[in-house]
Amino acid sequence: MPFNWTCPHCNRDQTVVAEKYADDNYSLNVTGSNVGSLVLHLKTIVCSNLDCRKPTIDAAVGGDAGAQVWRISKDKILFSQRLIPQGLAKPQPDYIPAALRDDYYEACLIRDFSPKASATLTRRCLQGMIRDFASIRKDTLFQEIIALREAVNEGRADRAISPETVEAIDHVRGVGNIGAHMEKDINLIVEVDSGEAQALIDLVELLFEEWYVAREIRKTRLARIAGIAEAKKIDRKAPLSAPAVDAFADLKGKETLKPGDGPLERITDQKRPDAALKS
C-alpha cells in the first residue's frame, strides 16, 4: 500500500509505491544466541525525485518472534539503526553557515552513540546561531539567551526572531542538565540522555527553519517583486512600434514621425485631436 514519506537525502515529500520499497527479513544461520534465532531486518526505500534517486536503508538485528515467518520480536531487538544515510540529520541549505551545519550533522550522527557529545555540539551550534544571526555575543550561552530575549522584547532583534522561538529556547534550557550547564563553558561535556540530546537537535532544526530559511524566502520574494517592478518601468519607457507611430501621426494630421519617437514628447505642444475638430 502506498504511503507518504520524506526523503532524508533531498528532503522531498513523496508517495512511496511498491516498486520503490522493500521490507525484508533474513534468518542468520547461527545458534546459541541468548535471544534465540537471530533475524536481520532491512527496510529499503528509493527516492522518486529524479534529481536524487538515492536509497535509504534501515537495519535491525534481534531475536525471532517465533511466528510463521521470520520477524524480530520487539522485546529482543539488539541493534536498530539507519545505515544510509548515516544519522537522522535533515539536509540544510548552503546559505546556513558551514560551521553550524557541520556541528548539526555531527550531533545527529552521534546522538545515540554519545548523547553527551551530541548535546555539546548542538549547544555550540545554538550559540553560533545567536552570535551569527542575532549578532549577540556574551561570555556564556545563558547570558546570550537573556540578551536575545531583551532584544526581542525591545524590538531590536531581527524580525525573524519571534517571541515564540525565544520561548522554545527557554523550554529546552529547562530540560534536564542542559539548562544548568548553559551557564558554563560551551564545550563542557554534560550528562544527558538521548532524549535530551534530541530536544536540542529539534531546537536547532526549528531555528534553522524560522531564522535562516524564512529570511532567505523573504529575500527571494522581495527580489522577485523588485525585478517585476523594474521590468514594468522598462516597459513604460520602451519606444513605440511602427504601427503605433502611424496611429499617432494620423491623430496629428499626418505629421511625419519616426519609429522610436516617444508620443508624449512630440504632441505636448500640439492641440488635442478633439480640440482641433471643434476649432
Whether the Cβ atoms of residue 101 and residue 129 lie closer than 8 Å to each other: no
Looking at residue 241, the DSSP 8-state letter turns out to be P
What tens-digit pLDDT sequence spans the chain (279 residues)? 899 999 988 888 999 999 999 999 999 988 889 998 999 999 999 999 999 999 999 999 999 988 778 889 888 999 888 899 887 888 899 999 999 999 999 999 998 888 888 888 888 898 899 999 999 999 888 888 899 999 999 999 988 898 888 888 877 766 645 554 555 555 656 677 788 888 889 999 999 999 999 999 999 999 889 888 888 777 776 665 666 556 656 655 554 545 555 544 444 444 555 554 554
**Residue 182: partners with Cβ closer than 8 Å, 6 or more residues away:** 123, 140, 141, 142, 145, 173
Nearest to 186 by CA among 146, 134, 140: 140
Owner of C-alpha cell 531546537? 203
> What's the confidence (pLDDT) of residue 160?
87
How many other C-beta atoms are found inside a 10 Å radius of the C-beta of residue 20? 17
- Main-chain dihedrals φ then ψ at residue 42, nearest 5 degrees: -125, 130
Q: What is the C-alpha separation between 277 and 279, in angstroms, rounded? A: 6
**In the chain, where are the structural domains located?**
1-86, 99-237, 242-278
pLDDT recorded at residue 172 = 74
